[in-house]
């Protein structure tokens, strides 16, 4: 018993010696502070954005099956103060849509929507890591719903017979904003959700969900600096 206790104490003492020696040999590495975001500021005149977009879209007034469309979202924003800007936005959404039961054998026709919008943008809470922006954009949208609408004999089928809207240009709006994650003073990763409003057909205003993710590039520094004379 005493021999076992002595062996245990000796082993613990030997382990303690090893730990003390290891601590004496180990030096805490010096980690340089991350200065990548140290120069982030919000006095740029322009922000250019491009990204991949998604929209859940109803291609007809009474369709129960919506269309999940993918596409692009591009935007240019001109800032007049660090918080206020005017933005011009273009979007394209593409995919297939469900249709009403029909005798033509048509399922999942191609549909698309293009939106052309402009409006004010406001920069909300911001720091060197993240910035929140809010916008209210209005303009027009063109919906295309008639591709491939033919019966078994190749005759055109009116989109209304399938529960679809007619091809048309109409009012559109996007109400939402973005969360900007700064990766450098100029480059930003953006997540931009929106409620989009359109007025296709006679069914009144339709509200849809849309979101995009992409990259912002800032340029035109010195918003408050006077112009330099050559």
For residues 224 and 3, the model is more confident at: 224
Q: What is the mean pLDDT of residues 19-47?
A: 65
pLDDT for the residue numbered 35: 67
Q: Mean pLDDT throughout 67-83?
A: 96
pTM (global) more than 0.85 = no
Range among 7-11, 12-16, 191-195 with highest mean pLDDT value:
191-195
Distances from the Cα of 151 to the Cα of 101, 154, 160, angstroms: 13, 5, 14
Q: Give residue 201's pLDDT.
A: 74
Whether the CB-CB separation of 179 and 191 falls below 8 Å is answered with yes
Cα–Cα dist 15/184, whole Å: 48
What confidence category does residue 195 fall into, taking pLDDT thresholds of 50, 70 and 90? very high
Full set of structural domains in the chain with CATH: 50-219 (2.40.160.20)
Q: Is residue 2 scored above 80 in pLDDT?
A: no
At residue 122's C-alpha, the angle toward residues 228 and 186, to 5°, is 50
Identify the pLDDT of residue 15.
Answer: 38
Is 138's pLDDT higher than 90?
A: yes
Mean pLDDT of 200-209: 80
Helix (H) or strand (E) holding 21: helix 2-25
pLDDT at res. 29: 53
61-65, 177-181, 224-228: lowest mean pLDDT where?
224-228
Quote the CA–CA distance of 143 and 95 in Å, as a whole number: 12
pLDDT over threshold 90, residue 222 = no
Inform me whether the pLDDT recorded for 182 exceeds 80.
yes
Per the prediction, the chain carries an average pLDDT of: 84
The more confidently predicted of residues 193 and 27 is 193
Extract the tokens encoding 147.
């591709």
């Amino acid at each position: 018993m005493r021999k076992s206790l002595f062996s245990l104490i000796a082993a613990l003492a030997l382990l303690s010696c090893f730990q003390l020696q290891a601590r004496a040999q180990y030096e805490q590495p010096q980690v340089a502070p991350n200065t990548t975001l140290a120069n982030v500021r919000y006095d740029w005149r322009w922000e250019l954005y491009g990204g991949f977009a998604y929209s859940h879209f109803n291609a007809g007034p009474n369709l129960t099956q919506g269309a999940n469309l993918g596409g692009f979202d591009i935007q240019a924003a001109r800032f007049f103060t660090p918080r206020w800007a005017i933005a011009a936005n273009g979007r394209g959404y593409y995919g297939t849509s469900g249709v009403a039961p029909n005798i033509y054998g048509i399922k999942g026709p191609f549909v698309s929507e293009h939106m052309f919008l402009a409006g004010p943008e406001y920069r909300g809470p911001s720091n060197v890591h993240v910035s929140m922006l809010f916008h209210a954009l209005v303009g027009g949208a063109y919906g295309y719903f008639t591709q491939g609408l033919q019966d078994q004999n190749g005759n055109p089928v009116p989109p209304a017979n399938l529960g679809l809207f007619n091809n048309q240009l109409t009012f559109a709006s996007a109400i939402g904003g973005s969360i900007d994650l700064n990766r450098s003073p100029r480059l930003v990763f953006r997540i931009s959700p929106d409620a989009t409003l359109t007025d296709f057909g006679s069914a009144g205003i339709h509200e849809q969900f849309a979101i995009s993710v992409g990259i912002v590039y800032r340029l035109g520094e010195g918003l408050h600096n006077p112009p330099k004379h050559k």
